[in-house]
Amino acid sequence: MKIKNIAVQEKNELFFFDFAVKYILAFSAVLLTLLKFV
């Protein structure tokens, strides 16, 4: 049971990391687009 909890925790951390990377990429893409219009 304890091993299963650790696996779930690692999966959640990977999901959060993946979400953070996508958020940063989207944010930088928006910034680049705004800079082009300025």
Give pLDDT, residue 4.
83
How many Cα atoms occupy the beta-carbon half-sphere of 13 within 13 Å? 6
pLDDT digits (tens, 9 = 90+) for 1-38: 677 887 888 888 888 999 999 999 999 999 999 999 87
Parse the chain into domains and list their residue ranges: 1-38
| DSSP notation for 1-38 | -HHHHHHHHHHHHHHHHHHHHHHHHHHHHHHHHHHHH-
The pLDDT, as a whole number, for residue 10 is 87
For residue 7, count CB atoms less than 10 angstroms from its CB and return exposed for 0-12, middle for 13-18, buried for 19 or more. exposed
DSSP 1: -
